[in-house]
Amino acid sequence: MAAPLSYRLLWETPPRYTYIIEIEAEPSPGSYTDFALPAWRPGRYILQNFAAAVSHFHAQDEQGRPLTWRKVHKDTWRVLNPTRSKIRVRYHFYAHQIDAGSSYLAEDLVYFNPVNLFMYIPGRLDAACILELPRLPKTWSVATALPRRGERWEAQSYHHLADSPFLAAPSLRSEKATCAGITFYVHFWGKVEAKSLQGFTDALCRIIQVQKEIWGGKLPLKEYHFLYLLVPFPLRHAVEHEYSAMFVLPEEGAASEEALRSFLGISAHEFFHVWNVKRLRPAALWPYRYDQEVYTGLHWLTEGFTDYYTGISLLRAGLMPYEEYWKKLSAELSTIENTIAYTLFSPEELSIDSWHATSVYRPVHFQGSFYAAGKRVAFLLDMQLRRRSGGKITLDSLMRYLYERYYEKGEGMPEDAVEKAAIQLGGPEMREFFARYVYGREVPDYKELLQELPIQVAVKKQPWEGWGQVGIVRWRAEGEGIRVEEVLPGSAADEAGIGPGDFLLLVEGTPARNIPTDFWQSHRQATLTWNSSGLTREGQVLLPSKPSAWRMEITLLPTEPTFLLK
């Protein structure tokens, strides 16, 4: 069994946004020991290269004698082993970023995600880890799911340590509640009214109970922590962990009990991850490796299905009106069907392409979301299972089947696991469903797919208005012009050579931003001036005699008031 790694976190006074990390470890077999920092973190499938924030690396033995080291990779420092001694390394990490997966340090706030800060030794990810923090003032509180033993925190492995965010501050407000057989904690940094928290924790309890039932009454933990960092700007971001979830949310959302309800959806989403992705997860993520991209085409399941169950959880918990649920779902499906990316890339492709998300080469109209694509798959698959079984088999059945088949047997899901499970539960016809809507890019025929179900389906195609009439369906105002973000293939703008990223300057000599919405109703052609990659271009836009740019509006109305409530 590998010897534990000891971590110590320090900072100067005043802190100046910089953590100091010290690690003590037994040398690896051979002549050297590598220390590596993750290149990405679970829950965000892009390379973030946390090592870019590291400086002042130093290595020595137990007697304080310097050890020779070299940086051998963008994320890895190689230390030559001492003759007979442990290795001690020390380095700085610049922490001036606030989102739910980052780290930040100020005089009144210690916030960090260990996956950002703490190096690991390759080949020893399963070794126990011990973490020590500076002695904090008695007025300070610490919030984390990592178990505390006296003056230190103990992790079963590096994976456990990396998965446990910390909040420490003098103004941390924490509440404890018992629900559905577990104890859960709610921690807030920022202004929140104490009298508002009771209603909020009661609502969280209802969500936990509903989700436990979805998974067949199985809740694989005894304690859970919701950590909320409230900020004075409109950021909404959250990250799931095995025993906790980290949220960065606007402080205006905690101004009252009614305002706090706006946090329930994102909280329901992250808690559903207790099962989906933190335990039931693709084989590619079992176990995690942190040194390079890890490819799976199943993020439409890990995130998209979770997003589907966010609304389901609120609906079944009585926290979202029935009419609001169906109205919101209809609007979301309409948005998907009017976005080009979902006809260019399948849900599986969007999952793999998550690693392209920050590439400057990825145009705006390629940027579909595996969250949205997966939510559409979840809804349609749920409906197919219900239709084929007369309501006896649902998506709940599928999730339970996968959980028992893979997680409870200590395995990750193969890439075809969901399709095989759907065929097992819904019959061989489900193979065609996956070919069309998971691996393929077909636009669903909602009326056909939802027939025989207690849902009234209306699908209406209507011409776009304003700039949409020439095929510019997404744009943003910029100065006196507009920045084009999405152009429909085959539209008048596309035929004229206008594409995403172009800057539209003039229409018939008038600044593009000043063109009224009804301009194209009275003009079948016009001269446009635009800038493309630094070059000014001019051309005629000619509208066809009949509209060629259409948008789809989907409206779903259930005919049974209890449909989807179980």
266: which residues sit within 8 A by CB, 6+ positions away?
A: 236, 238, 247, 249, 310
pLDDT in tens, the chain (566 residues): 678 999 999 999 888 899 999 999 999 999 999 999 999 999 999 999 999 999 999 999 999 999 999 999 999 999 999 988 999 999 999 999 999 999 999 999 999 999 999 999 999 999 999 999 999 999 999 999 999 998 899 999 999 999 999 999 998 999 999 999 999 999 999 988 777 899 999 999 999 999 999 999 999 999 999 999 999 999 999 999 999 999 999 999 998 888 899 999 999 999 999 999 999 999 999 999 999 999 999 999 999 999 999 999 999 999 999 999 999 999 999 999 999 999 999 999 999 999 999 999 988 888 899 999 999 999 999 999 999 999 999 999 999 999 999 999 999 999 999 999 999 999 999 999 999 999 999 999 999 999 999 999 999 998 888 999 999 999 999 999 999 999 988 889 998 999 999 999 999 999 999 999 889 888 889 999 999 989 999 999 988 766 666 789 999 999 998 999 98
H-run or E-run covering 517: none
What pLDDT score does 396 carry?
A: 98
Give the integer Cα–Cα distance in Å for 382 and 380: 5
34-62 pLDDT, tens digit each:
999 999 999 999 999 999 999 999 999 99
Structure tokens at 384: 């197919």
Cis peptide before 287 (omega within 30 of 0): yes
Give the integer Cα–Cα distance in Å for 82 and 126: 23
SS3 332: helix
What pLDDT score does 547 carry?
A: 64
Strands 104-106 and 109-112: antiparallel
**376 in Cβ contact with 333 (< 8 Å):** yes
**407 in Cβ contact with 391 (< 8 Å):** no
Give the integer Cα–Cα distance in Å for 520 and 543: 9
- Inter-axis angle of helices 370-389 and 430-437, nearest 10: 160
Give the integer Cα–Cα distance in Å for 507 and 529: 7
Q: For 466-548, CATH number?
A: 2.30.42.10
331-367 pLDDT, tens digit each:
999 999 999 999 999 999 999 999 999 999 988 888 8
In the chain, the amino acid numbered 22 is E
What pLDDT score does 193 carry?
A: 79
Q: Which residue has the tokens 């999730």?
A: 399
What pLDDT score does 548 carry?
A: 64
Is the fold of 5-169 the same as that of 466-548? Answer: no
What pLDDT score does 545 carry?
A: 64
Domain boundaries, the chain: 5-169, 466-548
Give the integer Cα–Cα distance in Å for 480 and 487: 20
Phi and psi of 45, rounded to 5°? -95, 60
pTM confidence score:
0.94
DSSP assignment letter at 300: I
| Ordered DSSP codes for 196-233 | HHHHHHHHHHHHHHHHHHHTTT----SEEEEEEEEESS
What pLDDT score does 208 carry?
A: 98
Distance, first Cα to last Cα, the chain: 47
**130 in Cβ contact with 2 (< 8 Å):** no
Give the integer Cα–Cα distance in Å for 192 and 425: 46
Q: Is 394 left (phi over 0), alpha (psi -120 to 50) or beta?
A: beta
SS3 528: strand
Phi and psi of 410, rounded to 5°? 70, 35
Structure tokens at 77: 């420092």
Q: For 5-169, CATH number?
A: 2.60.40.3650
User: ∠ CA(84), CA(85), CA(86), 5° rounding?
Assistant: 145
Phi and psi of 28, rounded to 5°? -75, 155
